[in-house]
A and B are shown apart, each in its own frame.
Chain A
Amino acid sequence: MSSSPPLPAAAAPFRPPGAAAPRYRRGRRMRARLLAWSTPLAVFVAVAALGPALVPYDPVTVRLGERLKPPGAVLEHGAKAWLGTDQVGKDLLAQVLQGARISLFVSVTTVIAAGLIGLVTGVGAGYAGRTTDALLMRLADLQLAFPSILLAILIAAVLGPSIANVIITLSVTRWVTFARVARASTLVTKEREFVMAAHATGARVARLVGRHIVPFAVTPLIVVATVEMGLVILAEASLSFLGLGAPPDHPSWGLIIANGRNYLSSAWWISTMPGIALSLVVIAIGQFGDTLRDYLDPRTVSE
């Protein structure tokens, strides 16, 4: 623990660095926080991986006699619909578990793809100088000019609705966020003394970029990535609302929520159950990202 007198956090949150400032410590508390927030994430991954095996999801069979049953209702063959049934009588719990898999897969794949594209483009643009920067950023402008909706519909038109197309659409429309943040970070880092010094001593570009610039770009990118994961799950829900998201036989959370939106005042569980799951997962991812950033940042002051 710190040697300086503990100050009430609200009164003087800014610790004067002139005083006995504690250097960063990966204290027990910080580790505990990281662990705490990685748990829901681990649960999510476990549920996505194992859930559908425990509660099998039958994409084909409908049970019209059991449609719109509320959570906890007992069905004909004795089973209990813990989360209720949907418009054609399918069990909602099975669908939510199945949807976890799809939403997880889509968001992780998209963010990795978009992040890599953005990192390369952004660092390249920030470092390489005026022409490349301008060119790459105009490419970004061009891509931004394509509203993701336009792209989604066009891709769906050519390839048909499928998971792969959702991933392609979303990574193509979301890499710019990563690129711009990477570029901004590069622009700042590039002007710093140690970089200029390294450049002056003739260090090779790749080494310079790899050792000095990329690490500084990665930290904000991780924060962006965790934010983006949540946004990707939500964006897929919007695409499903427009009918351009996951296909009906592999329903994502977004699709289930979108399909149930006419029933919010009656069979509210159809939209709300996957909605709650979605919110919890997005929040958990976001909090985990925050904690991870605090953990990774060498300048973080821990209490």
Chain B
Amino acid sequence: MGHTYTVEGNQGMTRRRFVRGTLTLAASAAGARMLPGALAAAAAPPSAPAGELKVSLPARIVALDPLGPQAAEEPVRIVAAHVFDSLVVRDTKTRRYLPSVATKWESPDPTTWVFTLRSGVKFHDGTPLGARDVKASLERMLRLRGPFAPLWAAVDTVEAPNDGTVRIKTKTPLGTMLANASLLSILPADKMEQPGFFNRPVGSGPFRVVSYRPDNELALEANPGYWGMPPGVRTLRFRDIPEIAARVTALITGEIDLTFALPPDQLAALEKQKGVQIVATPSYRYYFIWMNVKRDPFTDKRVRQAMIYALDIDTMIKSLMKGIARRMTCPIPSTVFGYSPQRAYTYDPRKARELLAAGGRPNGFEVTMIWNPDSGPQDRELAQALISYWNAIGVRVKDGQAERPQWLERLLKLDWDMDLQTNGVVTGDADFVLRRLYTTSANRMGYSSARVDQLLNDAAATVDQNKRKLFYAQANEIIWDDAVGIYPFELVQGYAYRTGVQGFIPSPSFPTFTTVTVKR
């Protein structure tokens, strides 16, 4: 399986684990999650935060509320990771959950989770963080019915019997409790409902908000009272520069220090640029094409498979997606828990035509593929390439590009033949994608398999992670063989930053900058 990170060296990883893992020195029940190397690194005293890091995110920071309707948007989550804390954090390398605000947790019975909170954690305004803040934050998320609320659907009650304990009772066993907890930002119970709170929100994280000028810049500074490892830089600025040419120019001139999500041609050009370096890392995002299983001609599995054999995925990666994609070998990316490699579909137009004929469509057919222009990198070029390949086997696919709201509406109404889009496995866990999208009740592309339903529900209800893996392996195989969708690429994220920026550790999830230092 082994994923090859092209991250510079492993000592970065160790340092990161040190940052999170230092907490486990104090907590005894967390288990041995640190490598010996981390212990050695732990001996060196951290220096005070210094310097300024200017980052330009590829999308606007729309709002600063990590519990509201925008919570799943990447910029909101990136900011949340710096300004707020959560109960646990996920170590993306080992795929394990490390203590953060919670020092230990246990599950006395399958429907109860008890988290013990660290003492001495303070919000940016000096008030202490306690269990009631956790309770209030979770309740707010559920009340606002944001995008992460469905993850907590099984929750029955949340109790804060004392300042240091949070008890969550669920109606049915929730195998993804830790994944969910890592997404729950903790806000101060008393302040979070005040009007204007989110203009300058108060959290307990390594950075605090200095100023927020929407569409322009969000300025953060290091939190002097942080309970954990202080960040490497004193000031962290998020600058909004939507136009690619302007953003690349700003990186070259030094107006910003780091950015990502650049198109592959521009990324390749930056490799040759003096003063700029590129680091690429596999991510949780991937491209996929669904075929509406309930619509002719995609009701026939052979026709669906034909559409896959018609594609020369390797050439598309080499020419269009160079450096930003790898061939996908499973309905979920290799970075995600639950991944299991499948047998590849080759590029075989002749076989595609045979399958079409076997499926009763020897002369091809005509369908429409919907997609929206915010899909992902190179989406326009990709759509053209895909349509061209299918045209070569006699399938005429019309370009059904639509604005995002229309695209979403048609998608959810199942009013489409084919759908091209990206998806991100936000939790890094297969459940987030497979159970949400591929069950009969989800009905997102008309696919129905009782066996897959069973497997996915079992996997969600089990707390034993090894068992879960087995369930997902079986489900993956069925979905893949049934050609429910086409899974051409998993996306690799390229980060471009100026030399002088050190200690940046990319992860398959969104980037964080707490370990970054800047030398000018």
Contacts and interface: CB of A to CB of B under 8 A. Distances in A.
A166 B388 CA distance: 26
Contact of A88 (B269, B385, B391, B392): B385
Contacts of A60: 387-388, 391
A64 B315 contact: yes
* Chain A residues touching B, majority SS: loop
B319 A262 contact: no
Contact of A248 (B316, B380, B403, B406): B380
Interface residues of B, number: 26
> Main SS of chain B's interface residues?
helix
A259 B392 CA distance: 25
Q: Which of A64, A161, A247, A265 has the most CB of B within 10 A?
A: A64
A156 B266 CA distance: 30
Interface in A196-254: 243, 247-249
Given A88-B381, A157-B406, A264 B388 contact: no
B402 A160 contact: yes
B245 interface: yes
Given A157-B406, A161-B401, A61 B388 contact: yes
Contacts of B320: 64, 67, 88
B275 interface: no
Interface in B319-366: 319-320
B372 to A, nearest CB: 9
A248 B383 CA distance: 10
A248 B245 contact: no
Contacts, number: 60
A18 to B, nearest CB: 59
Nearest to A161: B401
A104 interface: no
Nearest to A89: B319
Interface residues of A, number: 26
Instruction: Choose among B244, B316, B384, B406 the residue with the greatest number of A CB atoms under 10 Å from its CB.
Output: B384
Contacts of B388: 60-62, 88
A259 B401 CA distance: 15
A87 B316 CA distance: 12
A64 B399 contact: no
Given A265-B269, A266-B265, A61 B316 contact: no
B384 A62 contact: yes
A61 B320 CA distance: 15
Contacts of B401: 161, 247-248
B385 A68 contact: no
With most chain B CB atoms within 10 A of its CB, the pick from A61, A62, A156, A267 is: A62
A243 B316 contact: no
B263 interface: yes
Contacts of A262: 244-245, 263, 265-266
Interface of A: 60-62, 64-65, 67-68, 87-88, 153, 156-157, 160-161, 243, 247-249, 259, 261-267
